[in-house]
Amino acid sequence: MSEEHTYSVTMEEQEYIYPSYEFVSQANMTDPKIREKMSLDNFPYYYKEFADMLEWDEYWHTMLDTSDAPCWRWFVGGRLNASYNCIDRHLKEHKNKTAIHFVPELEEEDIVHMTYQTLYMRVNEVAAVLRDELGLKKGDRVTLHLPMVPELPITMLACARLGIIHSQVFGGFSGMAAGERAWDSESEVLITMDAYYRSGKLLDHFAKAEEACKKSEEMGQTIKTVCIWQRYKGKNSSPTPMKEGRDIIMNDLVAKHKREIVEPVSMPAEDILFLMYTSGTTGRPKGIQHSTGGYLSYVTAMSHIIQDIKPTDVYWCMADIGWITGHSFIVYGPLSLGASTVIYEGVPTYPDAGRCWRVAEELDVNIYHTSPTAIRMLRKAGYDEPDKYNYKFKHMTTVGEPIEPEVWRWYYEKVGKKKAAIVDTYWQTENGGFLCSTIPGLEPMKPGSAGKTVPGLHAVVYDGEGNEIPPGAGKAGNICMVNPWPGSMQTIWKDRDRYVRTYYERYNKDPKSTDWRDWPYLTGDAAVLAADGYFRILGRIDDLINVAGHRLGTKEVESAALAVEEVAEAAVVPAKDEIKGSIPDLYVSLKPGYEPSEELEKKINNMIREVVGPIATPKGVWICADMPKTRSGKIMRRVLGSISNNEDVGDVTTLANPEIVQDIKEMVDKKLGR
């Protein structure tokens, strides 16, 4: 999308669908005055209720300190521990209750039900290992590169217990991606696993650790220790050899600290809980830095108000813990409320399209949370499949990308059996928790719309000049948040300038101001605001591609392609995809003396999978004689995007090399049989 992205939007307004009486009658949030109470006039004082959902060792004295704007400091003076709040405080009443249901991908393996007491013991033992075996302490960073297994939240909570900053890298990412993030966060310890199941195959995950160490070392950070969890305790499931002096089996270390109890470290509210790396528009990933008190209070409140979680619920969020959705809504939010959270190891459609619904039936899941990509996939693989199973959801979530109204309807009618309330939650890694959503027990749903801002947040849509686009104007613009909120990131790790530049510079009028009113937060998304206050999110305004609900920087993929010796130029554009929303489509030109070939296409494809990870696998690798360019030499990604999506390329006569457009189009059309 161009810099100035104000344009008219014509999508039919969808009708309201009201939540069932059954849902409303039990909903957590039914106060019709909630929005009034949380109006901007009362900002920031209404966030006291959020903070009061936690147990504090020391109560805070200042709700919001804006003196270092736009780095907001919440609940200043308070002290607490996140691990204590997610585990210890529930033991008195709920120690026997399941904290985590772990569902292995292989159906013949038993589901593991871990009580709060067991979680408490395991987290303490791991904390003892981190402190006494690895010498880690408050403020140190540790890179985790773990799949969807209980050891992941256990390790995260053990870090949190000691104030160690965890940085979990999505397990599906490459070793190189993990290494780069370990370098950026200056981690000396990498915690990984030998293997895990995906699509019925036991993948050698430990193989990635070697790449990670190599990459980190090259960049200037030595990983001194690699701790390896065993997928099957007592058994090594990876054929990759361990390196003497560097690699240790985590389970062996834990065995030395059986039943050891580690006192939680009382952390200032403003100390860092974790880093979560996300794609930026330039190559280097951004370490999004989240606080302890602000973040935890925000995800706890959102889990209560929007997710409608009660301690008696069985809650299944099918995201990966390696993404922010998993951090906030598999681990910290539900556990802070004392609910039972489900962790599923594998692919939603393995071994068949009924798998999710069998898990739901078996565990009596009543809250279900997933992405439009997964919903599209489940709908395609088994349209009527949910009918066969006797589960009952009261509440469902869609998150991560825009959902098409017809896909939403399938989710509502088939999966939710017209009983479950649906929330379409719009937010980002940077936000800790939701920005927009309906309040499920109070407000009607509108297919394809995220709804209003969540209580406490206030948004505007600006045009390119910074004028507000009024509700109901039918025009899209940049959606910005007017006020700060406790879950918002503190900054980008070690890069305050980039933080200010990326999120605040655009609409800030006075860089010296310490008044929050002067610092609207730029989400980087285009949105339309309807007359009823509901936002429809259209997608990114920058160089990011949303693949299956997750952000990829075009630059990351392009840099990987450029690492192939033969490649001279690379441009990535989003190609529309029926299931994943969009997929990167890659155009390259070669250095002189090289010829296109299928082998070369494969080589480039493999390089991207290796450097970024399979999530970035391009839909096509198009080797072109030249790239369409402006006279100033800029590659016209818009034109390539139109070719990928079989759309009109528009007027290209002003390009430096207009003739190339037709050649590329013919090549693509021919290969795709269009």
Closer residue to ligand PRX, CB minimum distance, 294 or 326: 326
Which of residues 416 and 628 has its CB atom nearest to ligand PRX in the complex? 416
Residue with tokens 């301690």: 311
Residue 293: C-alpha distances to residues 74, 78, 175 (Å): 7, 8, 32
Shortest distance in whole angstroms from residue 52 CB to ligand PRX: 25
- Closer to ligand PRX by CB, 44 or 539: give it: 539
Q: Which CB atom, from 527 or from 564, has the smaller least distance to ligand PRX?
A: 527
Tokens representing residue 229 in the block: 């969890």
Residue whose entry in the numeric block shows the structure tokens 């990308």:
401
Please name the amino acid found at residue 434. F
Do strands 267-268 and 79-80 pair parallel, antiparallel, or not at all (unpaired)?
antiparallel
Residue 212: CB minimum distance to ligand PRX, A = 21
| CB 238, min distance to ligand PRX, A | 29
Phi, then psi, of 203 in degrees rounded to 5: -85, 140
Nearer Cβ to ligand PRX (492/660): 492
Nearer to ligand PRX, 155 or 546 (CB): 546
Q: Which residue lies nearer to ligand PRX by CB, 223 or 450?
A: 450
Q: Residue written as tokens 């160490």?
A: 213
Token reading at 316: 């299944």
Write the CB contacts of 517 (distance below 8 Å, at least 6 apart in sequence): 482
The verdict on whether omega for the bond into residue 44 sits within 30 degrees of 0, i.e. cis, is yes
Quickly list DSSP for 293-360.
HHHHHHHHHHHHHTS---TT-EEEE-S-TTSHHHIIIIIIHHHHTT-EEEEE-S-TTSSSTTHHHHHH
Q: Which residues contact 470 (CB under 8 A, 6 or more apart)?
A: 529
Check whether the bond before 574 is cis (ω within 30° of 0). Answer: no
Contact of 359 with 387, CB cutoff 8 Å = no
Q: Quick one: which of 446, 160, 433, 133 has its CA closest to 302?
A: 433
Across the strands, what pairs with 142? 166, 189
Supply the minimum distance, in Å, between the C-beta of residue 550 and ligand PRX.
5
Angle between helices 175-185 and 598-611 (to 10 degrees): 40
Exposed/middle/buried for residue 442 (C-beta within 10 Å: 0-12, 13-18, 19+): middle
C-alpha dihedral (621, 625, 628, 630), degrees to nearest 10: 130
Q: Give the C-alpha separation, 132 to 516, whole Å.
A: 43
- Dihedral angle at the C-alpha atoms of 543, 545, 546, 547, nearest 10 degrees? -160
Nearest distance, CB of residue 426 and ligand PRX, angstroms: 4
No. of helices (H) and no. of strands (E), the chain: 21, 31
Least separation, in Å, of the C-beta of 106 and ligand PRX? 28
- Contact 569/590 with Cβ under 8 angstroms? no
List of residues contacting ligand PRX (CB under 6 A): 278, 324-325, 399-402, 424-429, 450, 523-525, 537, 539-540, 546, 549-551
| DSSP string across 348-406 | TTSSSTTHHHHHHHHHT--EEEE-HHHHHHHHHH-TTGGGGS----SEEEEESS---HH
Cβ 399 to ligand PRX shortest distance, Å: 5
Q: What is the DSSP string of 395-454?
A: EEEEESS---HHHHHHIIIIISTTTSEEEEEB--GGGSS-SB---TTTS-B-TT--BSBP
CA atoms of 231 and 226, how far apart (whole Å): 16
